[in-house]
Amino acid sequence: MKKNQKNYIVVIISIGCILAFFVFAGITKAISVPQIPSSFLGAAAGAAITAVVTLLLLQGQTHAEELKERNVKVFEKKSTIFSEYIDVIWNAWEDNKLTENEYQKLISDYYKKLMLYMSDSSAKIIGEQLKKIGSVAGNDSPSELEQKNIQTALINIINTLSDEISLGGHIDESLFTELGKEIKEAEIRSRRSNTSFKMLGIKINTELVLKADPNIKCWTADEKNQVKDENGDILSISALASRELDRSANGFSEFMFDGKTLYEMRGK
């Protein structure tokens, strides 16, 4: 129901109640006929005051509800845009570098979307971080320092967006860096564990030599990771490498074929 319709209904009901009251009073003779005009004026004044107060309260309530509804919609839209921008950042940073197209996407969304929902101070902070990123964006082989500078700038952007919608949580850069190293090491371990002679195209009974001492040799015994040592014993290539080097070792990194370690043959 529209606001004007509510106002009209209140006025009509008020007038109707007044008329009904005096008709009832005249019929029951609760008020004498000469007293009706003065009583009517008094009642009308009271009703008018009541109607005005009611209208003001209804208008205030309606305005508050409209404002609340608008704020909720703005916050939902703002949260969605910020979340999508953070997704763009994460997707761009997966390979620890930023292409020219990825950088242009960050700039475009910054001007088209973010600035409409940010305070001036937050917009300035993010703009400064994007400038820093721009100086190294498009480099296919950024140095460790350049990677760190890009990472720091992206984390600052994410934390600024978090503050804008009062999420409270911040990314700890040192912890973020440590977790990134752990993920890389886990990926390396996973790749190494999946290496096999068959994958490398090495046939059974192929001669391999130890990188640290080429005089130590072994021969592949299956298509996976088993080898035969010079004594004819069958064991895994990593077990043989650990035995010969007297330490924990990955055999694919320690044994060579045709001048390359088996791990290097994977192109790593």
**pLDDT average per 10 residues of sequence, the chain (268 residues):** 56 64 57 53 59 63 69 81 86 81 90 87 91 85 84 88 74 62 54 76 95 96 95 94 91 93 79
CA nearest neighbour of 114 among 157, 62, 64: 157
What pLDDT was estimated at residue 244?
A: 94
Q: Rounded to whole angstroms, what are the CA distances from 267 to 116, 185, 191, 200? A: 47, 17, 12, 10
What pLDDT was estimated at residue 181?
A: 57
Tokens 């977790």 appear where? 179
Facing residues of 226 across strands?
236
Rounded to two decimals, the pTM is: 0.45
What pLDDT was estimated at residue 176?
A: 61
What pLDDT was estimated at residue 190?
A: 52
What pLDDT was estimated at residue 195?
A: 81
